[in-house]
Amino acid sequence: MTRTLYDKLVDAHKVCDLPDGDMLIYVDFHIMNEYTSPQAFSGLESKGLNVWRPEAHLSVIDHVNATRSVEAHDAQSKLLIDNLGKNCTTHEIAFYGLGDPRQGIEHIVVPEQGLVVPGMLIACGDSHTTTYGAFGALGFGIGTSEVEHVLATQTLRYKRMKTMRVTINGDTTLGVTAKDIIMKVVQVIGAGGANGFAVEFSGSAIRNLNMAGRMTVCNMAVELGARAALIATDETTEKALKGHPHSGQFEFKGEKWVSDPNAIFDHEVTISGADIEPLITWGTSPDQSISITAHVPSAQDYVSPKAKKALERSLEYMGLDEGQSAQSIVIDTAFIGSCTNSRIEDLREAAKILDGRQVAKGVEAIVVPGSAMTRIKAEAEGLRSIFETSGFEWRPEAGCSMCLAMNDDIAMDGERVASSTNRNFEGRQGRGARTHLMSPAMVAAAAIAGHLVDVRNFK
């Protein structure tokens, strides 16, 4: 019987079938942050339970911490940060707290520490845990009650999903990045088009991506509604597993985690890599995107009254006109960061655009490296100097920052942001903030121009 990669991963971790049709699965590794874990620890305490396998868990500070200074926190944030540290000490769980050279955004830290290998099942109280699918591992987000369950038992109740394969065939053109690829997929399939599916990405355009690019693709697959995203292992995967602090400490036997050649998927989607251009979002959902050379949609582009109403609402919130040129959109802020695009590879690409150029007058430009290790490496390569000389503010403390506005990095009402993040929902970066998603290189180009602009003009 042929199986998909997803089915192989689920089968390898199934403990038993449950009477209602669900199953119990074993979790190899579990990650926590200060925002989604407090109630889980309180639940353990109220039930008199201990953490069953402390060595199979990791906690990081990333959601609410300030990025300007290790000390610049409000009282509520400090309480969350301190509580996680105390809970980890009590239960002997590894903790990457503020000031720790390993601290950073959870989905940046885990790969750079070498804590993910093919064949693993990883859970975390954050939806973008799909990132680990880039390594041929099954990663997904869980709720607070599930965090408590995995702490106590190292298992979870799980329902097998349907499978979808998205194939990106052919070479992409100059200026097209992994961010553009996944934004195109979200545009084609829709923001909820993969609800109930585990999505596997394949095709030459995917195989040609480096590991950072693959992580970006899997990270944003959740914007399709997918709860799991996967890419088959290959030489790129094996190379990426070497040279990290924990390399070799997690079991990886070198087997290929791939779908069988004749595996049948419940749904197939094919996109031509040559048809993908640098993209930007114009609306308030990740699937509301257009090429940087295109124009904002008009009511005449839609048939159904529901779609026309959604267009009207999005344009009103975003302060845009029907048919407006994408490159006429003036920005107030440029932000490079988040679990999607704050790796060293992302910073290098943005720095190439910024080198020898200046941020436009009136634009506030901010870059937040995804981890302390990323920051140190970037500074050693001279990237900080390039960012700061161009006019970007270099934030020294890693964190989610303006991606979700849980700390003091908040865009103001009506402020327009060119952002390398993953979501452009209403209020995502601050009440009334207007977010345009794009690649880090596109953010850098927009910062220089003062408006959204085709990065290919800078190559």
Domain 13-158 has CATH 3.10.20.30: no
Cα 440 from Cα 350, distance rounded (Å)? 6
* pLDDT of residue 169 exceeding 90: yes
Task: Supply the pLDDT for residue 247.
Answer: 83
Interval 398-422: pLDDT, tens: 999 999 989 889 999 999 999 999 9
List, for residues 200-242, the tens digit of each pLDDT value: 999 999 999 999 999 999 999 999 999 999 999 999 999 999 9
CA atoms within 13 A on the CB side of 178: 27
Query: What is the model's pLDDT at position 1?
Result: 85
Tell me the C-alpha to C-alpha distance, in Å, between residue 358 and each of 47, 337, 368, 448. 58, 19, 18, 6
CA 273 to mean position of chain CA atoms:
21
Q: What is the pLDDT of residue 303?
A: 86
- Cβ–Cβ < 8 Å for 235, 300: no
- In angstroms, the Cα distances linking 219 to 125, 286, 387 are 14, 13, 25
Residue 310 tokens read as 């959604």
* 30 strand-pairing partners: 57, 123
pLDDT of residue 72: 64
The Cα-based distances of 171 to 57, 277, 349, 438 in angstroms read 39, 12, 19, 20
Query: What confidence tens digit (pLDDT) does each residue in 338-360 have?
Result: 999 999 999 999 999 999 999 99
> Which architecture does CATH list for 279-457?
2-Layer Sandwich (3.30)
Instruction: Please say if the pLDDT value at position 249 is more than 80.
Output: no
pLDDT at 277 over 90: yes
CB 287 within 8 A of CB 190: yes
What lies within 8 Å, CB to CB, of 434 at 6+ separation is 317, 318, 319, 411, 414, 415, 416, 417
1-29 pLDDT tens trace:
899 999 999 999 999 999 999 999 999 99
> Rounded to the nearest 5 degrees, what angle is found at the Cα of 199, between the Cα atoms of 193 and 201?
115
C-alpha–C-alpha distance, residues 326 and 336, integer Å: 20
Compute the distance between CA of residue 236 and CA of residue 391 in angstroms, rounded to an integer: 35
Report whether pLDDT(250) > 80. Answer: no
Structure token digits, residue 34? 């200060």
pLDDT for residue 254 is more than 90: no
Q: What is the pLDDT of residue 70?
A: 76
Mean pLDDT of the chain: 96
Which CATH number does 162-275 carry? 3.40.1060.10
Residues of the chain with CATH 3.40.1060.10: 162-275
Residue 154 has pLDDT above 90, yes or no: yes
Residue 140's pLDDT is 98
- pLDDT number for residue 227: 94
At 208 the three-state DSSP class reads coil
